[in-house]
Chains A and B, each alone.
Chain A
Amino acid sequence: MTRAVAVELRGVSCEYRTRTGRVLAVEKLSMQASDREFVALLGPSGCGKSTLLKMVAGLVPATAGEVLVYGRPVVRPLESLGMVFQSPVLLRWRTVINNVLFPAEATGRRDAAMRERAMALLRLVGLTGFEDKYPHELSGGMAQRVSLARALLLEPTLLLMDEPFGALDALTREEMGIELLRIWQEQPKTILFVTHSISESVLLADRVIVMTPRPGRVAAEITIDLPRPRSGRMRVLPRFGELVSVLQDEMGIAT
């Protein structure tokens, strides 16, 4: 089973300037993600995984190397791109439905069909009946669901997620992860998922790329061979524990 390469990084470095000097966030990093693959980028805080994601998004230029999405070099954000951030970044003056519709409206594609699609997405993320609420009336988990629905509106082929559930409590976090998998099963797309949670990466991903502390490089790539569909109950499987301890070793955590 060979699938097209969705994302490819070849010897990519990223250096940026701060007030105190230059920081090498990512150094000579190479990786690939296949079409419709769920890849988790795992690493300690400040290892450059967010920078990596932003380079794929075309938000931050690589200072060396090549970033390719479906074979084309990334110079600016691509059209078929969905992005979910750690905070929901909803527009607080817009209702839930109008937040989900914002990408369509901003790009001049809002119509009745788009509205249908937005309603369907709200159903998909379990927010039917909340269309006309304002963001300040939502819980953190609900707000992040809206943010996910918004990212899915224009049917992106590539979904970039930057610690999307990092700000949620453990229970909501797992629930959201399982829900993301269900959505991904229904609408397959390539997902790059940044996280610093080992168990989250094992639960969700096809493959986990472990990054070193700054400057970020690939420390290891681990294929997660747990069956799909996944559920929270898989945590008790011996294989789950094995994979977690392998990743812990790779991240240099003594067990």
Chain B
Amino acid sequence: MSTSSGRTRSASDRLSFFGTPIATLAGLVALWQLVVSLFSIPTFILPGPLVVWRTAVEFGANWVPHVLATVAIALLGFGVAIVVGVLLAIIIVHSRTLSRVLTPAIVIMQIVPKIAFAPLFLIWFGLGPLPIVVVTFLVAFFPMVVNAAVGLAEIERDLLDLARVLRLNWWKVLWSIRFPTALPHIFGGLKIASTLAVIGAIIGEFVGSNRGLGYLILIANNNLNTPLALAAIALISLFGLALYAAIVLLEMISLPWKPVEAGGLESVAQV
């Protein structure tokens, strides 16, 4: 029984938990600046972090609509992916027939190159945020379905017998047994899907939009404004990181019974 892990971390553990990744990142940024300065690389090819920082600050309030657009689309697509993914998983776990129908369809949807479909979505769903949300959803929902389905199906035989002895209906079994059992898996799916949702939103914006960080990267590229493009990429990454961190935090709060190993990658790889 590992009681030292999870909730009872010491102060020095906590320092290394946050400190190590920050130090690593700072080291990489310093190396980047060093290389750029040392070899006098032209700004339009690779600007140093200082130039990128200055460009980002100068852009100021112009960021707001672009950041809001991308965040809104990524969150919306992610949200739809969560709801649809978990609902599909519930159906798959409860009906063998529907599972046989749905599983191949879902796998095919995952295999089909969604990015190639993005221009078609513009034709089908018109201009505006809808086609981008659809791309985001399609990119993000697969790991949600798979993880939720694995989690919901993972129930001991004796536990099912216990539920029957207590005469619980399928809804009670789902809500008070299957769902909590599945939560660690669902969080694994959320972690993967959150990163994919951000990528999906940017891809969607590349293909057709007049706003958002993806759109901004295209414009900056066309103008050879490499510092602005890199600043936009940095913001996207920051947003993706924040979303991931929020999920890890939520996981730690909602799974107090599970000794969480500080949200390391192994908790994603496990599932």
Given contacts A89-B156, A91-B177, contact A106 B183 (CB under 8 A): no
- Chain A interface secondary structure, helix, strand, loop or mixed? loop
A135 neighbours in B (Cβ, 8 Å)? 257
Given contacts A83-B161, A106-B172, contact A93 B166 (CB under 8 A): no
| A54 interface residue (CB < 8 Å to B) | yes
Map CB proximity to A onto B153-192 as digits: 1 under 8 Å, 0 otherwise. 0001011011111111000100011001101000000000
CB distance from B5 to the nearest CB of A (A): 11
Contact yes or no, B176 A106, CB < 8 A: yes
| A107 interface residue (CB < 8 Å to B) | yes
Which one of A93, A107, A136 lies within 8 Å of B180 (CB-CB)? A93
| B259 interface residue (CB < 8 Å to A) | yes
| B62 interface residue (CB < 8 Å to A) | no
Which one of B161, B164, B259 lies within 8 Å of A136 (CB-CB)? B259
A83 vs B157: C-alpha distance when bound (angstroms): 14
Contacts between chains A and B (CB distance < 8 A), count:
59
Given contacts A59-B161, A93-B257, contact A106 B1 (CB under 8 A): no
Contact yes or no, A83 B162, CB < 8 A: yes
Contact yes or no, B1 A85, CB < 8 A: no
Contact yes or no, B164 A59, CB < 8 A: yes
Map CB proximity to A onto B1-31 as digits: 1 under 8 Å, 0 otherwise. 1010000000000000000000000000000
- Chain B interface secondary structure, helix, strand, loop or mixed? helix
- Nearest CB in chain B to that of A88: its residue: B158
Contact yes or no, B257 A77, CB < 8 A: no
A134 neighbours in B (Cβ, 8 Å)? 256-257
Interface size class of A (residues with CB under 8 A): 20 to 34
B1 neighbours in A (Cβ, 8 Å)? 136-137
The 9 closest A-B pairs by CB, nearest first: A85-B158, A134-B257, A89-B158, A93-B180, A93-B257, A77-B165, A83-B165, A89-B159, A106-B166
Give 24 CB contacts A-B under 8 Å: A54-B161, A57-B161, A59-B161, A76-B167, A77-B164, A77-B167, A79-B167, A83-B165, A85-B162, A87-B158, A89-B156, A89-B159, A89-B162, A91-B176, A92-B257, A93-B183, A94-B257, A102-B166, A106-B176, A107-B167, A134-B256, A134-B257, A136-B1, A137-B3
Q: A86-B158, A136-B1 are in contact. List 20 more A-B contacts (CB 8 A).
A: A54-B161, A59-B161, A59-B165, A76-B167, A79-B167, A83-B162, A85-B162, A89-B156, A89-B158, A91-B180, A93-B181, A93-B183, A93-B255, A94-B257, A102-B176, A106-B163, A106-B168, A134-B256, A135-B257, A136-B257
- A interface, CB within 8 angstroms of B: 54, 57-59, 76-77, 79, 81, 83, 85-87, 89, 91-94, 102-103, 105-107, 134-137
- B interface, CB within 8 angstroms of A: 1, 3, 156, 158-159, 161-168, 172, 176-177, 180-181, 183, 255-259
